[in-house]
Amino acid sequence: MTADPAHVDRAPDDPLAAARRALAVERQRTTDERDALSTFLDRVRDVDVVEPTPMQGPKRQIQTPQTTGLATVRDAYVGTVMSVPHYDEEYGDSYGESLEAEFGADVAAALLQGHFGEYCKQSVLAKTEQALAERVVDRDAEADKLFAMVTRHFRRALTDLHEVEKLDQGRDDLFEYYYACRQFERIADHAEKIARFALDPDAGLPADFSDRVVSLGNDARQIVDQAADVILADAGIEAAHLALEHRDELVTEIETLDRNLYDHDVPSEAHTAGLLLDSLRRTAEYGANVANISIQQVSRTETDE
């Protein structure tokens, strides 16, 4: 859980403060949507499938959503994806419209008018996993644009005193934000790389490796969240120190797992697994860089006071 955005004690038209508030909102919405889709995925896995009943004379029972599991899927979807706090404000579409936007017309039609058989269930699971991965790819493009904007302002501030005055920040502050933004942009690059592996049907992994990757990925994301809370949401500096501790533990675990891949029988699977581990390690390292710059920022602020 990320920290609530703290109040920024600056003028209302301070562009940096406004950017931090906007980023905090977008970060929370991204997290809410990711968690909602993940929860929906888990709930669909638990729904029992019902295949069509063969016709047996004139009294054949007509299946309904209540008897096929479609109602259970609908309740899960409405209770997760359509229940994020910003859903009405940002999307505002109906159940059917949302299904089609997320999963395509075929899956939407099956969930609205068909029956929840094994094929339908597997299609929903696959489309949900695809939607999660595609969100990551889309966010990488947004991260690139944001970093380009921050870079422009930072370069102007190096040569234009008016730019520094307009942002109401010293050059030390601006460098720290630029540096942190650079780390986030790199994290986004590796998140996209991992997502594209998830979208590639030919990217195989060792049979016992998938669960480990999910666990390591959650740990790497926690490191980034802890570090980001300090520099973006004014969380306590303890979070930055925790991020550094978790980085050390995670890197050690990744290196051990990477060595175990040397003896794997399928070279292509070992290669893919090695690339994933490298991206997770780099994500943790970039998160630690944000933690270090956060500690530096807080320490300098305390010294100035």
Distance in angstroms (rounded) separating the CA atoms of residues 16 and 275: 36
Q: What is the CATH number of the domain that holds 272?
A: 1.20.58
Q: Does the pLDDT of residue 77 top 70, yes or no? A: yes
Mean per-residue pLDDT of the chain: 84
25 within a domain of the structure (yes/no): no
Query: Is it the case that residue 304 has pLDDT exceeding 90?
Result: no
Q: Where are the alpha helices (DSSP H) in 160-207?
A: 161-167, 171-199
- Report if residue 289 sits inside a domain: yes
Whether the Cβ atoms of residue 38 and residue 19 lie closer than 8 Å to each other? no
Q: Does 249 reside within a domain?
A: yes
Residue 53 pLDDT: 61
SS (H, E, C) 261-303: HHHCCCHHHHHHHHHHHHHHHHHHHHHHHHHHHHHHHHHHHHH
Express each pLDDT in 152-165 by its tens digit: 878 888 888 777 77
Q: What is the pLDDT of residues 243-280, one digit of tens each?
A: 999 999 999 999 999 988 887 778 888 889 999 999 99
Is 225 a member of any domain? yes
Predicted local confidence at residue 253, as pLDDT? 94
Expressed as residue numbers, the domain containing 226 is: 204-305
Are the CB atoms for 167 and 153 separated by under 8 Å?
yes
For residue 305, being part of any structural domain is answered with yes
Q: For the chain, how many structural domains are there in total? A: 1
CA separation for the pair 120, 114 (Å, rounded): 9
Other residues' Cβ atoms within 10 Å of the Cβ of residue 74: 16
Q: Is residue 161 in some structural domain?
A: no
Identify whether 4 is part of a domain. Answer: no
Please give the model's pTM, rounded to 2 decimal places: 0.81
Per-residue pLDDT, averaged over 25-37, amounts to: 89
Residue 244 falls inside a structural domain: yes
- C-alpha distances out from residue 46 to 32, 42, 68, 77, 189, Å: 22, 7, 14, 13, 33
